[in-house]
C-alpha cells in the first residue's frame, strides 16, 4: 500500500528544527544558499531555477535547513552578533561580563557558602532582613511608596497592571517595567531596597548589572513574596536554537503558581 502524504511528511519533517525550535540564522543562511544556486540555474533554464527554489524552500520549511549539518556548523562558526541580529543571545558570550555576581554579593554579606551542601546560600542576617522587607511590601500602598522613593516620581502617577503575560508597573501612561509575576516584582523591589543600602556604588552600576544581581537573588527566595507558600525549583533540559542544550531553571510558588525566577545554564 502506498504511504499516505501525511505519513511521508511526518518522516521528512524534523520538529526539533522547526516551529518554535526553528533556528532563524540557520534558516536565513539556507534560504540565501538556495536563492543563489537557483538564480545561477535560472540563468541557464528559468523554469528549472524556479522549480529548484520551490523544492529548496519546501525542504527548509519541513526540515528547518537544506544543507546537511547546518545546525552544528552554525553553532560552531556563526558570530554572536549575527545571533543577536535574529533575537538570540549566546548565554555565555552574548555581551561582556563586567560584574562578578558571586564576588559582589559575598563582599557585602549577602551570600555565603552553604553549611551542608556545595552551593551558595543567603547569609542568615540578609535572609531574615529580606523576609521582613517582603512582608512589608505585600501592602500595595507600601509598594507604591517604595517605588515613588526609588524612582523619584509622585506616588499618584504609579499604577500596576496584572495580566496573563506578567506584572507591569506604569508611570502615568508609560510602562516602566515588567516581570513574570507579582511575586518576582516584590522580590526585586525588596532586594533592590536592601542592596542599594549595602552597595555604595549601586547607582553607578550598569542597568544590566543591577538586573543580573536582582535576578540572581530571586533564585534564593524560598517563601513566595506574593502568596506566602513555598517556592520550589524545577529543572529541564531545553534545546537552544543552534547552540548546545541548556538547563532551564525555574522557581515557582507552590500555592499560587507564580514564577519567581527563570534562568538557563550550560
pLDDT of residue 263: 76
pLDDT of residue 63: 62
By C-alpha distance, which of 214, 222, 185 is closest to 198?
214
With a cut of 50, list the residues of the chain below it in pLDDT: 1-14, 16, 70, 72-96, 237-243, 266
pLDDT of residue 48: 84
Looking up cell 511590601 gives: 137
pLDDT of residue 136: 93
Over residues 180-234, the pLDDT tens digits come to: 999 999 999 999 999 999 998 888 888 888 888 999 999 999 999 998 889 998 7
Alpha-carbon distance 71 to 18, whole Å? 12
| 231, 254 contact by CB (below 8 A) | yes
pLDDT of residue 68: 59
| 256, 229 contact by CB (below 8 A) | yes
pLDDT of residue 1: 44
Amino acid at each position: 500500500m502506498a504511504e499516505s502524504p501525511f505519513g511521508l511528511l511526518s518522516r521528512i519533517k524534523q520538529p526539533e528544527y522547526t516551529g518554535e525550535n526553528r533556528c532563524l540564522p540557520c534558516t536565513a543562511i539556507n534560504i540565501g544558499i538556495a536563492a543563489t544556486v537557483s538564480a545561477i540555474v535560472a540563468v541557464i533554464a528559468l523554469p528549472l531555477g524556479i522549480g529548484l527554489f520551490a523544492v529548496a524552500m519546501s525542504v527548509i520549511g519541513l526540515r528547518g535547513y537544506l544543507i546537511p549539518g547546518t545546525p552544528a556548523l552554525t553553532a560552531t562558526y556563526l558570530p554572536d552578533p549575527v545571533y543577536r541580529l535574529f533575537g538570540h543571545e549566546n548565554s555565555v558570550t552574548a555581551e561582556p561580563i563586567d560584574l562578578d555576581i558571586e564576588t559582589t554579593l559575598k563582599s557585602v554579606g549577602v551570600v555565603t557558602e552553604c553549611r551542608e551542601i556545595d552551593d551558595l546560600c543567603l547569609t542568615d542576617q540578609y535572609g531574615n532582613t529580606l523576609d521582613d522587607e517582603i512582608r512589608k511590601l505585600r501592602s500595595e500602598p507600601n509598594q507604591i511608596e517604595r517605588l515613588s522613593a526609588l524612582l523619584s516620581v509622585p506616588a499618584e502617577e504609579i499604577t500596576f497592571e496584572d495580566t496573563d503575560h506578567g506584572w507591569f508597573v506604569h508611570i502615568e501612561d508609560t510602562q516602566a517595567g515588567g516581570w513574570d509575576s507579582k511575586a518576582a516584582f516584590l522580590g526585586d523591589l525588596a532586594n533592590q531596597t536592601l542592596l542599594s543600602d549595602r552597595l555604595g556604588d549601586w547607582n553607578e552600576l550598569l542597568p544590566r548589572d543591577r538586573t543580573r544581581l536582582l535576578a540572581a537573588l530571586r533564585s534564593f527566595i524560598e517563601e513566595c513574596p506574593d502568596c506566602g507558600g513555598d517556592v520550589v525549583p524545577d529543572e529541564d533540559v531545553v534545546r537552544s536554537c543552534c547552540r548546545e542544550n541548556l538547563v532551564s531553571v525555574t522557581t515557582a510558588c507552590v500555592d499560587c503558581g507564580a514564577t519567581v525566577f527563570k534562568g538557563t545554564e550550560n
